[in-house]
Amino acid sequence: MKFTSLEQRNALEAESDWKGRNMPKTVFDALSLTAKKHGTRNAISFQLQSGPKDPAETLTWAELLEKTTQVANMLRGLGVQEDDVVAYMLPNATETVLTLLGGMTAGIVNPINPLLEVEQIGALLRETNAKVLVTLKAFPKTDVPQKATEAAALAPNIKTVLEIDLNRYLTPPKSWIVPLVRPKNPVKHKARVLSFNAEMNRQNTTLDFDPPGYDRVGAYFHTGGTTGMPKIAQHRFAGMIYNGWLGATLLFDSDSSIMCPLPLFHVFAVEPILMSAIQAGAHVVFPTPAGYRGEGVFDNFWKLVERWQTTFVIGVPTAFSALMQRPVDADVPSVKMAFSGSAPLPIELYKRFEAACGVEIVEGYGLTEATCLVSCNPIGGIKKVGSVGIPFPYTDVKILLDTPEGPRECGTDEVGEICVFNPGVSPGKTYTEAAKNKDLYHFNNFLRTGDLGRIDEDGYVWITGRAKDLIIRGGHNIDPAEIEEVLAGHEAVAMVGAIGQPDAHAGELPCAFVELVAGASVTPDELIAFAETRIAERAALPKYIEILDELPKTAVGKVFKPDLRRSAITRVYNEALEAAGHDARIKEVIEDKRLGLVALLDGRSSADEAGVTKTLGAFTRPWQWAD
């Protein structure tokens, strides 16, 4: 179906009522239908190592259905009922897909980011009351098993731990060596430990229980969480089926081959990609457990694309920035398009990538709280680089502003908060914790995203920043995207993160942290001079620019701004303390649930406490003594 303009989107809605079609009621139903139609075709492939000739494992759709059924039966046999939670802490692997699909068939599946701290993982396991945890058996070069056993010890509700041994993907002599060098991982919890594959292989290949009910919650996805306690979003089958329907209707078909080096604990890989592949019968390839972070993935990327005859490349801005710096050293005429999500794509990065790689990038927008997809630059239509395109069919986007009289809808190109309603939004039930759903909606059902944006005269959505990321200089709001877009236009710059650094007079001043293109050279002063000629708003000129070897990033490649804020707080406060003649210095900056980022000071025993209080009291960001 065509999706080239707002008018065609509206026409598509009018001619195809997706709810009225003979749609699958659950993900298991969708998988069963695809296995019946495309049973012998490739469904998923995984390779442990990144070489274009390294061994890989492929499951057909019939095999994926059989093994998913076995996993669901295994979990039901372990006591998992419809409302019970199966958590997994896993890198990408065949078993990760099976755990995801089998977990949501037997109960509620909860993917957990293994990069979180042990205490956060333990808190998630307790909050969801997870009954089963699926993770890795101890394996070289990963700390996932160690973190999992420590986290399970913090969650007595975990009754069973299922372990997956990645050694089965290796061939001799490497497979012989692993048992000799396998790290020791003493069990610190009281749950029973079983082999995932041994238990799965004992099961029937037809369901031992009635299929899952329609439109119940099938998955929990935590949001953010690299600092502080993540919120847990609930994904219902209706939203998952909707995401899959969009991909299968507008984009993918059974001849599509999708390269997805994104983690299966993130909504982007699961909902738009895997769910779409299931409904379209497309083939999804997962290269290495760590995806883009895997050893050699960037260097071998285009050869992997050639190997798997990839038609669609899935990535995030940081990944495209890295790929741009490597030659296209393979024959890749199969590639039709690249899709970017998770964070706004700088315009200059888009232009450079297309020029360097000859691949067009389509930018989309989604969020965990809406089961993901919201909008996309129309395929085959006008692509407005820098926008996130037109809302998908059956998705309603409003730009709203709070006023004393209630929410007001913004006019064309007026910036406000992006608010969304579609089949993936569950008003009043977005998060598991009821208190966190309070004030989350306008007009009772429009999800407040926290993203600032506007809609232009053609119906295209533009993200201008995060409400919480605004730099507030003396009461004047500055969108960090304005700074980031300009600095990203410098030929030496790969990625940018702009934040507000503390200031005793203005509250905050804009500053920026920059990661350079490999081999490039530029000074902070040169970048400031570059910005001065391109940023029209004087107040938005960065007062400080720091060049880092690599910007801190989340597991899916977003620039992680809390770490940048920590660095700025430490630098500014220490400079103020030194200028005032105090010996006290910032020990660290921590995240407090109530106060946000808090600076901890060392040196209380020899400090002039009244003087320190006076010096740091000029800043708005809180601080306290570490001892």
The fold of 470-553 is GMP Synthetase; Chain A, domain 3 (3.30.300)
- Spans of all domains in the chain: 6-455, 470-553, 568-625
Which residue is it, tokens 């779409």? 276
**394-431 as b/e, with b when 16 or more CB fall inside 10 Å?**
bbebbbbeeeeeebeebeeeebbbbbbbbbbbbeeebb
pLDDT value of position 121: 93
Q: Which residues contact 545 (CB under 8 A, 6 or more apart)?
A: 487, 511, 512, 513, 514, 524, 527, 528, 531
Answer whether 612's CB lies under 8 Å from 573's CB: no
Q: What is the pLDDT of residues 96-118, one digit of tens each?
A: 999 999 999 999 999 999 988 89
pLDDT value of position 164: 98
Cα–Cα distances in angstroms (integers) from residue 542 to residues 15, 500, 517, 524, 593, in the given order = 50, 9, 20, 10, 29
Which residue is it, tokens 């393979």? 330
Residue 463 sits at φ, ψ, to 5 deg, of -90, 125
Instruction: State how far the Cα of 607 lies from the Cα of 613, in Å rounded to an integer.
Output: 10
Answer whether 334's CB lies under 8 Å from 257's CB: yes
Report the SS3 class of residue 468.
helix
Answer whether 221's CB lies under 8 Å from 372's CB: no
Instruction: State how far the Cα of 557 lies from the Cα of 224, in Å rounded to an integer.
Output: 12
Q: At what angle do helices 480-488 and 347-357 cross, to 10 degrees?
A: 30
pLDDT value of position 427: 93
Instruction: State how far the Cα of 295 lies from the Cα of 219, in Å rounded to an integer.
Output: 30
Cis peptide bond prior to 261, omega within 30° of 0: no
Instruction: State how far the Cα of 400 lies from the Cα of 485, in Å rounded to an integer.
Output: 24
Beta bridge pairs of residue 547? 514
Report the SS3 class of residue 239.
helix
> What is the enclosing helix (H) or strand (E) of 485?
helix 480-488
Which residue is it, tokens 């690299």? 226
Closest CA to 369 of 470, 273, 236: 236
The total number of residues shown for the chain amounts to 627
Instruction: State how far the Cα of 508 lies from the Cα of 469, in Å rounded to an integer.
Output: 12
Instruction: Describe the strand order of the beta sheet including 507-516 as a list of residue ranges.
Output: 493-503, 507-516, 544-548
Answer whether 284's CB lies under 8 Å from 258's CB: yes
Q: At what angle do helices 27-38 and 94-106 cross, to 10 degrees?
A: 130
Parallel, antiparallel or unpaired: strands 416-421 and 396-403:
antiparallel
Closest CA to 26 of 284, 211, 281, 248: 211
Ranges of the chain with pLDDT below 70: 1-2, 16-21, 224-229, 343-344, 346-348, 465-466, 474-477, 593-595
**Per-residue DSSP letters for 84-143?**
-EEEE---SSHHHHHHHHHHHHHSEEEE--TTS-HHHHHHHHHHHT-SEEEEEPP-TT--
Closest CA to 530 of 498, 560, 485: 485
Answer whether 595's CB lies under 8 Å from 622's CB: yes
342: left (phi over 0), alpha (psi -120 to 50) or beta: left
Q: Which residues contact 532 (CB under 8 A, 6 or more apart)?
A: 541
Closest CA to 498 of 490, 488, 489: 488
Which residue is it, tokens 């804009």? 510
Residue 477: count other Cβ atoms within 10 Å of its Cβ: 13
Q: Which tokens in the block code for residue 248?
A: 């299968």
Answer whether 121's CB lies under 8 Å from 89's CB: yes
pLDDT value of position 225: 45
pLDDT value of position 1: 55
pLDDT value of position 226: 38
Instruction: State how far the Cα of 163 lies from the Cα of 395, in Å rounded to an integer.
Output: 40
Instruction: State how far the Cα of 296 lies from the Cα of 303, in Å rounded to an integer.
Output: 11
In the CATH scheme, what is the code of domain 6-455?
Answer: 3.40.50.12780
Residue 21 sits at φ, ψ, to 5 deg, of -75, 170
Q: Which tokens in the block code for residue 232?
A: 């847990």
Q: Which residues contact 160 (CB under 8 A, 6 or more apart)?
A: 78, 131, 132, 133, 191, 192, 193, 194
Report the SS3 class of residue 446.
strand
Answer whether 523's CB lies under 8 Å from 493's CB: no
pLDDT value of position 213: 75
